[in-house]
A and B are shown apart, each in its own frame.
Chain A
Amino acid sequence: MALLSLKNLWVEYGEKVVLERISLDIAEGSFVSIIGPSGAGKSSLLRVVLGQEKPTRGTITLDGAPLPPECGPDRGVVFQRYSVFPHLTVLGNTLLGLEFSASPFTARLFGSARRAAISEAEAMLEQVGLADSRHLYPAQMSGGMQQRLAIAQALIKRPRILLLDEPFGALDPGIRKDMHALITRLWREHGLTIIMVTHDIKEAFSLGTRVLTLDKRRHDPHAPQRYGAAVIYDLELTRKVQQVHAEARADEQAEVGGITIDTVGNN
């Protein structure tokens, strides 16, 4: 059974249709990349799955149960920016998730519970390579380190789904490569289910096990808001298929060539 199921999902803002007829089944353990031109509703789709926005029509189910239209600890998120809290150290940022759930009133932990949480947080920081930076504040770290922290912060809640909204878009190419290796390793080790929105086609194909392309099927020049975006390509990439793709890159290029992809504002 699919972990996450979207059935006939529509997102409309008044007259403007952003997404139409989105039906998807996302399997547990998959890494889904979402690409598409700017304004094609990639981020809207992510916000709906996150629970930040309510779809105008359609249903979303997680493990067969309808998903409440609220953000909750079953779905972790890493945004392009502002994902970490500037007033907390690296350790404080990572502990926060454990503190919220353990004590709803003070949102803090004390004594042995705190010590246990700290060792759990430190183990998580070890995994993302921030063990030596645990007393730094985000303002003292590079963008790449902040995104590592944001990932550690989200993963400590062991979310059913991890949502990434252009998480590496603001990083420079060398750092981005390291981050790709990191997220791939974490995805394998933790058996994560990841949905990632990106502008970078190469990133979408190299990381994902499945690539979704959102774009408008129809366009009315007199009423551009009339039709929303839908999934126009849904490519399953098993690792083997991916290798074949790498060899026959020409095919892939041809496939992608038909879609208008906006690379402006990519980096």
Chain B
Amino acid sequence: MRWVTAQPGRGRAILLGALPLVMLAFAYIIAAAARHSDNAADKILPLPGAMAAAMAALIFEADPLSGQYLFWADTLASLTRLGLGLGIATASTLLVGLVVGSLPPVRATLGPLVTAIAVIPPIALLPILFIVFGLGETAKVALIVIGVAPFMIRDVAGHIAALPREQVIKALTLGANSWGVMLRVALPQAMPRLIEALRLSLGPAWVFLISAEAIAADVGLGYRIFLVRRYLAMDVILPYVAWIAILAVVMDFALSRGSRRLFGWAHGAAH
């Protein structure tokens, strides 16, 4: 048996995948316990019990000042911004990517513009967005859109442009016009790629969301992390980071499953 051909079974793969996570948690607990044996008031590596207590206050108890359940308010605010940003980015990718990808004259016109926008670091545009849109929700959503849409547009347009020329010719000989080729040939084949691009954009989208919330917000997961940093409140920061990781994994998993279910032909799955 060679390493390059050794295929672990499904159960074993789950076990192997869980192993590093369990080891990481275990190592953390050992380190935290060691620090607490030296200093019972240590804040840098809080014990699980302290984290649970701190989070319980945020999850189950209303904040005396605002009357909100902060954890849920933060989650809702962040997911709304992320959802709006990714939704607008996906819709514009579908529209622009389809047109740029399937119509060579439009590609010649808009391709360089999209590339130019894509190479600008989005965070560098954040001040402009704050100046133009103010410090409200619009600027944060706009940052996510500007951050991920150009990449997605380039990816989807490139995929459509790389469809075999034969397919377009064949569609024309079947009586299609340009619109028909876009609608029945390019669009359906772009959909799985669009979901793939969206999955890859989840990471950057979170980065832009947390950045925008860290700079100017009054609610949100990123806002809370940066707020409690002032009190070295690792017992809140660590569970929040874990919660963000869980949300991101669930989104990625849902997109991946959705793509397989809706576009089985693109995944080589049996039907």
Contacts and interface: CB of A to CB of B under 8 A. Distances in A.
A96 B184 contact: yes
Which of A96, A100, A106, A139 has the most C-beta atoms of chain B within 10 angstroms of its own C-beta?
A100
A72 B172 contact: yes
Given A50-B169, A77-B169, A86-B265, A107 B184 contact: yes
Given A72-B172, A73-B174, A157-B175, A140 B271 contact: yes
Contact of B179 (A52, A70, A105, A137): A105
B175 A100 contact: yes
A77 B170 contact: yes
A83 B167 CA distance: 6
A140 B172 contact: no
Interface string A80-99: 01111111100000001101
B184 A99 contact: yes
A200 to B, nearest CB: 20
B188 interface: yes
Contact of A72 (B170, B173, B184): B173
B180 interface: yes
Given A86-B189, A104-B180, A157 B266 contact: no
A138 to B, nearest CB: 8
Contact of A96 (B174, B264, B265): B174
Interface of B: 164, 166-167, 169-177, 179-180, 183-185, 188-189, 263-266, 268, 270-271
A71 interface: yes
A167 to B, nearest CB: 12
A73 B173 CA distance: 4
Contacts of B180: 100, 104, 107
A173 B167 CA distance: 26
A76 interface: yes
Main SS of chain B's interface residues?
helix
A71 B189 contact: no
Main SS of chain A's interface residues?
loop
A16 interface: no
Contacts of A86: 189, 265-266
Contact of B173 (A75, A81, A84, A107): A75
Contacts of A266: none
A69 interface: no
B173 A71 contact: yes
Nearest to A47: B169
A88 B187 CA distance: 12
Contacts of B174: 73, 96-97, 100, 153-154, 157
A140 to B, nearest CB: 7
A129 B270 CA distance: 22
Contacts of A153: 170, 174
Contacts of B264: 137
Which of B179, B188, B263, B265 has the most C-beta atoms of chain A within 10 angstroms of its own C-beta?
B265
B173 A157 contact: yes
A97 B166 CA distance: 15
A83 B166 contact: yes
B189 A104 contact: no
A87 B265 contact: yes
A79 to B, nearest CB: 5
Contacts of B173: 50, 71-73, 75-77, 154, 157, 159
A238 interface: no
23 contacts: A50-B173, A71-B169, A71-B172, A72-B173, A72-B175, A73-B175, A77-B170, A79-B170, A82-B164, A82-B166, A85-B167, A85-B170, A85-B185, A86-B265, A87-B265, A96-B171, A99-B184, A107-B184, A137-B265, A140-B271, A150-B170, A153-B170, A157-B174
